[in-house]
Amino acid sequence: MLEATATCDIVIPCRDEAAALPLVLADVPEGFAVVVVDNGSSDGTADVARSLGARVVQEPRPGYGAAVHAGIEAATAEYVAVVDGDDSMTIADLPGLLAVVRSGEATMAVGRRRPVARGVWPWHARAGTLVLATWLRRSSGFGIHDLAPMRVSRREDLLALDVQDRRFGYPLELMIRASRAGWSVVERDIDYRPRAAGTTSKVSGSLRGTRRAITDFLRVLRTV
């Protein structure tokens, strides 16, 4: 898993995902290495990640954007993938997304979530994503229908966007900056599954989490 010649580093931002990581990292594709960013876990996430062969980066600042940025800075491969650490998506989908970017078909390849069961994607989170993705398509022509919970791009291209948000607004700011920079994007459908037992989404798992994310999204819309 710690391949010196890895083509793509998988950045996995984690907070209390010790129960999910053995499932997430059960079958890392050839040519990929894993960077787990421990974002203040209290359940031994970092120890579990190391035991599974992942490189661990500590990011004490709370927030999805802070964890993702720390992982991208720590990555060393030419390409970087980002995926959640709760086993709601499978990293087996990453080689297909990487192939899109390596071929030059697009600057960024993203996964478009397709729920495999009722209740996997709560209505309030799904509605918020729909509104933001629709706004972005209509305002910029950037062809996305989801806020890219799984994505692949060149590391240097990503760093050059200079995304500043360090909370839940990170994915929206990333999409806005990518559209303004003239990036091309390709979406591929991916299964969106129930999270590993004992894990809860920091965003869609509660109305409070969703409200916090909306606040972050609104801040991005005002400032970017």
Residue 137 has pLDDT above 90, yes or no: no
Compute the mean pLDDT over every residue in the chain, rounded to the nearest whole number: 89
Mean pLDDT score, 16-26: 95
> Could you give the CA distance from residue 131 to residue 137 in angstroms, rounded to a whole number?
10
* pLDDT at res. 187: 96
Structure confidence at residue 172 as a pLDDT band (50, 70, 90): very high
Instruction: Express each pLDDT in 76-132 by its tens digit.
Output: 999 999 999 999 999 999 999 999 999 999 999 999 999 888 878 777 778 878 888
The answer to whether the CB of 79 falls within 8 A of the CB of 102 is yes
* pLDDT at res. 69: 98
- Backbone φ, ψ for residue 216 (5° rounding): -65, -40
Percent of the chain residues past pLDDT 90, beyond the cut: 67
* pLDDT at res. 113: 92
Name the one residue in this structure whose structure tokens are 């990640």: 49
Contacts of 220 (CB under 8 A, 6+ apart): 165, 169, 172, 173, 176
Dihedral of the CA atoms 209, 63, 45, 88 (nearest 10)?
50
Residue 199 has pLDDT above 70, yes or no: no
The answer to whether the CB of 193 falls within 8 A of the CB of 156 is no
Residue 220 has pLDDT above 90, yes or no: no
Least confident of 3-7, 12-16, 88-92, 181-185: 3-7
The answer to whether the CB of 147 falls within 8 A of the CB of 140 is no
> Could you give the CA distance from residue 115 to residue 92 in angstroms, rounded to a whole number?
16
Residue 206 has pLDDT above 70, yes or no: no
Residue 164 has pLDDT above 70, yes or no: yes
Can you list the domains of the chain with their CATH numbers? 8-223 (3.90.550.10)
